[in-house]
Structure 1
Amino acid sequence: MIISNRENIVGKEIKKELGLVRGNTIRARNVARDITQALRNLVGGELKAYTELMAEAREEAIDRMEKEAEKLGADAIVNVRFMTSMVASGGAEILAYGTAVELQKK
């Protein structure tokens, strides 16, 4: 499966658009992580535990979007975008979405 944030795939022709596909996950912080990150916030620097949490969430959202595209028979997903939103205190949603397409076979 080719996944791209561009509207097309270089060297490939889109035969058919199959529709919008998306994948999401909601992740919550945990108390132990919050304590260490609060201390890090006081002295400055990257909040690595939160960076890792969000990276894992993005990968899970991409995997779910890809599975939805596979159900439609897609070869690729184009114009992929991400969105993040707070859903509760300490919880964030990551949404990945794009257009599933069938590529012209050569």
Structure 2
Amino acid sequence: MLCVSTPDIAGREIKEVLGVVTGNVVQSKHVGRDIMAGLKTIFGGEIRGYTEMLTEARQKATGRAIAEAEAMGADAIVNVRFTTSAIMQGASEILVYGTAVKLG
């Protein structure tokens, strides 16, 4: 499944727009990661535990959007966007959305 952030795919024609697809994950923080994050705020540097956690959440959300597009019979998702929002203290939502299309 092609997933692109552009409105079209170079060299391919969009034959049909099937609709918006989404995928989301609500991810909470882990106590062990919080301890390491607290230390990093003192000494500085990347908080790799959170980076890995958010990377995994983005991959899960993208996979869910792809599954939704495949169920619609899509060949690609165009105009893919990611957004993050705080749901509650210690939990964030990763949302991916785009337009499922059939290619010619």
What TM-score results when the alignment is normalised by the length of structure 1? 0.97
Q: Which residue of 2 aligns with 1:68?
A: 68
Write the distance in 2 (CA, Å) between the matches of 1:3 and 1:57. Answer: 17
RMSD (Å) for aligned C-alpha atoms: 0.5
Q: What is the distance in 2 between the residues matched to 1:32 and 1:99?
A: 38
Do the aligned residues in 1 keep the contact of 2:36 with 2:47 (CA within 8 Å)?
no
- Is the Cα–Cα contact under 8 Å of residues 27 and 93 in structure 2 kept in the other structure? yes
Q: CA deviation at 1:30?
A: 1.1
Residues 22-37 of structure 1 aligned to structure 2 (within 5 Å): 22-37=22-37
Deviation at 1:32, TM superposition (A): 1.1
Q: How many residues align?
A: 104
Distance 2:11 2:41 in 1: 46
For 1:53 and 1:46, the matched residues in 2 are separated by 13
Q: Is the 8 A contact 2:22 2:98 kept in 1?
A: yes
SS of the residue corresponding to residue 99 of structure 1 reads strand
Is 1:40 the counterpart of 2:40 in the alignment?
yes
Moved segments of 4+, more than 3 Å: none
Percent identity, aligned pairs only, is 50
CA distance in 1, matches of 2:89, 2:45: 23
- For the residues of structure 2 that align with 1:36 and 1:79, how far apart are their CA atoms? 36
Deviations 1:26-80 (A, max 9, x none): 0000111100111011111111110100000000000000000001100000000
Aligned to 1:94: 94
Query: Counterpart of 2:44 in structure 1: which amino acid?
Result: G
- 1:83 counterpart = 2:91: no
The runs of 5 or more residues in structure 2 that have no matched partner are none
